[in-house]
Structure 1
Amino acid sequence: MSYYTGAIAAVPAANKQKYAEHVAAAWQLFKSYGALRLVETWGVDVPRGKVTDFYSAVDARDEEAIVFSWIEWPDKASADASWEKMQNDPAMKDMPEMPFDGSRMIFGGFSPVYEAGRHSGAGYYQGFLLAVPEKNKAAYTEMADEGWKMFKKGGATGMIENWGVDVPHGQKTDFYRASKAEENEVPVFSWAAWPDRKTCDAAAKAMEADMGDMDLSKMPFDGMRMMWAGFEPLFDSEDAA
């Protein structure tokens, strides 16, 4: 089963092109370590939240944009081995200087608990981050299936829900603080793929009407702490192949 390294970062908007060049170079290294795919998306519709949001997740500055990205690996063992290789790889010294503050980037290892549709060729992504009680894993997976039915009806091409299995605690930022995770809660990093933003926005309005009478108390997680945003593809290794 595939395994994902998920990451969220804040990048100065002025450095968008430099960031794209940086990740293109990084992909060559990840590919040599066995990675299957790298996708980097640039925030274009990132709302401010009352409890949590992507800006606070990475302590973003006013002039910074949010980047939502993931690396796909064949399995966790391959991902773990790659990080070991990276520590001692001389090629790391030749990498372009990071055009953002890496100390505020949050990242972790995630395993899919639900996947439907396809993710290739998407013109727009919705990214989600939340914390789910560990005991509610099965209930969350069942809810994801119901969610996919609504997303698919609205025109989504794919959806994936990833459960945190190797999520480190950071000194400045991390997935736990970003989602205000409580004891025995697990970070969930997920996304839905859409053909374009117009389709996604139209579906969102329709779903808001359908969910108007939903009893939020029955959700298997605290929806007030879930954050979501819209992202456009910046780099996809499938396109760069």
Structure 2
Amino acid sequence: MTYVQGFMIPVTEANKAAYKKMAEETAPIFIDHGALRIVENWDNQVPKGAATDMYLAVRAEKDERVVFSWIEWESENACNDAHEKIMADKRMQNPPEEMPFDGMRMVYAGFNVLGESGDGGSLGYVQGYVAPVAKEQRQAFSNMCAKMREIAIDSGALHAVDSLSYDIEDGKVTDFKRAVDAEADEGVAFGFVEWASKEAHETGSAKMREDKRMTSLGGDLPVDGKRMIFGGFEVMLDTGHH
């Protein structure tokens, strides 16, 4: 897996079941056309920030939560080749009479995988993040992510992925660049850490904070933490680790 499509989607509590049903019905179509895996996650612990956060990223309204999801592909070419086939699939010709979310505020893009760690397993909880990364900091950011993934896996995480794109299209209402106030020379990182459960995540996060290797990362990080957005999510759908 070298390519990931990442999504953040505003969905009301009332439409959670309808969204899950739609995701379950459309996932097999993507898998049939080459997607390796699809994971959909529901807002559980998503903090609100002063400058930016995941709610602001999707222009969430008062009754809306954030869905954080991704599709894994063997390559960018595999993803691009599948697009027209998916749209032409007869199973896609009967969409719901009313979509369970506002597609104009859905944030999505494709990302090249910087690295992944862990063998995966029965997934129950996800930590997701999006962050701005300057071009000159790409390698330093990749190196930092590799260390963080190692610490996460050693602390009980099942699987961790970091990806990055410097070629994100502008959206009409919002997009990944606006989500983190990315500047002209910055790309956007999209990453996640998978845990067996929320309890495993909480225990593992405590271990990570105490890990001596964390201090070796230093204080001058290759990413602006003030503009990073993140959250914890319960898993609604996982088609299975590749």
- Compute the TM-score of the two structures, normalised by the length of structure 1: 0.91
Q: Which structure 2 residues correspond to residues 61-72 of structure 1 after superposition, within 5 A?
A: 61-72=61-72
Paired position in structure 2 for 1:133: 134
SS at match of 1:186: strand
SS at match of 1:94: coil
Q: CA deviation at 1:155?
A: 1.7
Partners of 1:26 and 1:95 within 8 A in 2: no
Paired position in structure 2 for 1:5: 5
Unaligned 5+ segments in structure 2 are: none
CA 168–25 in structure 1, closer or farther in 2 if over 3 Å, else same: same
Paired position in structure 1 for 2:201: 200
Count of aligned pairs between the two proteins: 238
Please give the alpha-carbon distance, in whole angstroms, between the structure 2 residues aligned to 1:110 and 1:3: 6
Q: CA deviation at 1:166?
A: 4.5
Which of 45-54 and 150-159 deviates more?
150-159
Which of 86-95 and 7-16 deviates more?
86-95
Please give the alpha-carbon distance, in whole angstroms, between the structure 2 residues aligned to 1:13 and 1:166: 33
Which of 100-109 and 159-168 deviates more?
159-168
Partners of 1:39 and 1:70 within 8 A in 2: yes
Q: Which structure 2 residues correspond to residues 24-43 of structure 1 after superposition, within 5 A?
A: 24-43=24-43
CA 165–23 in structure 1, closer or farther in 2 if over 3 Å, else same: farther
Paired position in structure 1 for 2:222: 220
Q: CA deviation at 1:212?
A: 8.3
Partners of 2:162 and 2:190 within 8 A in 1: yes
Please give the alpha-carbon distance, in whole angstroms, between the structure 2 residues aligned to 1:75 and 1:165: 16
Give deviations 1:200-234, integer Å, cap 9, x for gaps: 12333454466689753x10111111111101110
Counterpart amino acid of residue 30 in structure 1 = F
Q: Which structure 2 residues correspond to residues 175-214 of structure 1 after superposition, within 5 A?
A: 175-208=176-209
Partners of 1:130 and 1:227 within 8 A in 2: yes
Partners of 2:42 and 2:236 within 8 A in 1: yes
Q: Which structure 2 residues correspond to residues 18-57 of structure 1 after superposition, within 5 A?
A: 18-57=18-57
Counterpart amino acid of residue 234 in structure 2 = E
Partners of 1:41 and 1:234 within 8 A in 2: yes
Q: Which structure 2 residues correspond to residues 115-194 of structure 1 after superposition, within 5 A?
A: 115-164=116-165, 166-194=167-195
CA 194–85 in structure 1, closer or farther in 2 if over 3 Å, else same: same
Q: CA deviation at 1:84?
A: 2.5
Counterpart amino acid of residue 151 in structure 1 = A
Give deviations 1:3-61, integer Å, cap 9, x for gaps: 11111101011111111110111112212321111110111111111222100000011
Partners of 1:111 and 1:165 within 8 A in 2: no
Alignment pair present for 1:238 and 2:208: no
**Identity fraction in percent:** 35
Counterpart amino acid of residue 109 in structure 1 = G
SS at match of 1:121: coil
SS at match of 2:49: coil
Which of 104-113 and 202-211 deviates more?
202-211
Unaligned 5+ segments in structure 1 are: none
Partners of 1:127 and 1:190 within 8 A in 2: yes
Q: CA deviation at 1:147?
A: 1.2
Q: Which structure 2 residues correspond to residues 88-99 of structure 1 after superposition, within 5 A?
A: 88-96=88-96, 97-99=98-100
Please give the alpha-carbon distance, in whole angstroms, between the structure 1 residues aligned to 2:204 and 2:52: 23
Please give the alpha-carbon distance, in whole angstroms, between the structure 1 residues aligned to 2:61 and 2:224: 27
CA 149–88 in structure 1, closer or farther in 2 if over 3 Å, else same: closer
